[in-house]
Amino acid sequence: MRVEVARYAGVCYGVERALKLAQEAAAGGGPVHTLGPLIHNPQAVQALTAKGVETASALDEIDRGTVIIRSHGVDPAIIRAASDKGLRVVDATCPHVSKAHEAAESLMREGYSVVIVGEADHPEVEGIMAHAGGSALVVEAADELPERLPSRRVGVVVQTTQSEQRLAEVVAALAPRVLELRVHNTICAATAKRQESAAELARSVDVVVVVGGHNSGNTTRLVEICRAVNPRTHHVETAEELDAEWFAGAQSVGVTAGASTPDEQMRGVIAAIERMR
């Protein structure tokens, strides 16, 4: 059974940067908290906890020390509140997410009704919403667009881990319904590359294994893309979740991983699959 790894897979620059900032903060001593999970990868978060980086669900849980703004970004009011409490703030927001924040704020200031293509309950989208003034319309697909749009001047921004296809479908549905449409494609280049290479891999192998947090939006998107091409697609966080029955009769297995998946996690899954030969 041949194991093939996607051309682009695993941890991206934004996640590497966030992990590095958190580790540096932990090495500096004193209480260190992330505001929510730093990234959507439970194993990586557990590793940080072992180094003294705790996870807080809200700012009022942190009395002193350092607070790390996670890679998904937050409402800027939260950063101001943290500073007002006397906390040291380390902003680990992914630079690509920051660009989405800037785009949403720019559209709002120029008088556009902002449409965010993304998951309404995802922390990244919540941060983008705050930068859009808190009144943006969030849709995950074209069929979620309301019958009556907020205005005839619409600006679109997109969650960085969404697919190009989903963005294109929403834009195509909006175009004939508005007088002016401005689109900021804020999908991260690393995400796009991982999605393209995942689809390419899924077409060429018998079974696909996608490695990453079950709570990770970008990993879930890879699963959806691969499964649309190859029904024998499976999503795991660790090697312990692998099932030998998945590979029955398979001559080739493709492995890819979300942008929030550390390399050692992906390597562990690959090694376990290879032992099944």
What totals of helices (H) and strands (E) does the chain contain, helices first? Answer: 9, 12
DSSP 3-state of 138? strand
CA distance 15 to 70: 9
> Is 91 within 8 Å of 71 (Cβ atoms)?
no
Buried b (16+ CB within 10 A) or exposed e, 237-258: bebeebeeebbeeeeebbbbbb
Q: Using CA atoms of 187, 192, 198, 199 in order, give the dihedral in degrees to the nearest 10.
A: 90
SS3 10: coil
> Would residue 124 show up in a list of annotated catalytic residues for this protein?
yes
* Whether the Cβ atoms of residue 202 and residue 208 lie closer than 8 Å to each other: yes
CB atoms within 10 A of CB 25: 24
> Helix (H, G, I), strand (E, B), or coil: what is residue 64?
coil
Whole-angstrom distance, CA of residue 196 vs CA of residue 61? 41
Please report, for residues 30, 114, 208, 225, the alpha-carbon distance to residue 169 in angstroms, rounded to integers and kept in the order given.
Answer: 48, 16, 26, 15
Maximum CA pair distance of the chain? 61
The token duo for 74 is 């937050």
Q: Which residue has the tokens 């790390």?
A: 68
Query: From the candidates 16, 61, 110, 124, which is the catalytic residue?
Result: 124
Active site residues: 124
